[in-house]
Amino acid sequence: VSTGGVLVPMIDIRHLPNRKADERLVYFLRRHPITLLGVGLGYAMFFLIPFLLWWILQTSYPGLLQSPTTLPLIIAGGSLVLLFMWLFLFQLFLDYYLDIWVVTNHRIVNITQSGLFHRQVAELRLYRIQDATASIGGFLHTLLNFGTVEIQTAGEQSRFVFHDIPDPQEVTKTILHLVEEDRAQNMEAAFDDFEEQGWKRARRP
């Protein structure tokens, strides 16, 4: 299974809902790990703030650290800051790790994690796809070969977007090839779907 140049744990395709007997996994995609770097560096700087404040107190206000009243308050405040920073860092990693795109030879499954307790799953049959385009913008994106894949569909959901995935051009090429194969196998359903969408557009004022 291709993963777009990033090592990711495999999933068992049997766990996908409504799986067909001949369905196989083609891509299991996440955002490129480099996208965590900027935010991670910002969090790392915040982690240093309690230690920096402790150093300032030691050098400029040593009496505060020797007071039986203020010392527990300072330690409790610093501990709370570090605890919240760990929680924010964990949520950042969770959003990255659980935001995935699964591409099989019949469909695309988009799984989006928002916060700790909200998860959204959207599914798109390949024969509904009208077009797929890849875009790579910026020096870092070009250097590391990651970018965005935008999929235009014929359904109610007009777009599926894969953000910051590795090797987007190869992914786009593979998806378009899979679309042709799936459309040939589901010609009647694809024709009915395009006809229905055309009828809906014709009725719009």
Which range has the worst mean pLDDT, 8-17, 34-43, 160-169? 8-17
What pLDDT score does 3 carry? Answer: 43
Whole-number Å distance between alpha carbons of 104 and 26: 5
pLDDT band at 197, cuts 50/70/90? low
Q: Looking up tokens 């099989």, which residue turns up?
A: 104
Residue 163 token pair: 């953000």
Average pLDDT, the chain: 80
| Cβ–Cβ < 8 Å for 11, 102 | yes
| Cβ–Cβ < 8 Å for 144, 123 | no
Whole-number Å distance between alpha carbons of 175 and 151: 9
Claim: this prediction has a pTM higher than 0.85? no
Whole-number Å distance between alpha carbons of 191 and 153: 14
In the predicted model, is pLDDT for residue 136 greater than 90? yes
Residue 169 token pair: 């051009």
What pLDDT score does 90 carry? Answer: 84
What pLDDT score does 145 carry? Answer: 94
Q: What is the pLDDT of residues 49-87, one digit of tens each?
A: 878 888 888 888 888 778 888 888 888 888 888 888 888
3-state secondary structure of 78: helix
Residue 139 token pair: 């020096």
What pLDDT score does 31 carry? Answer: 92
Share of the chain above pLDDT 70, in %: 82
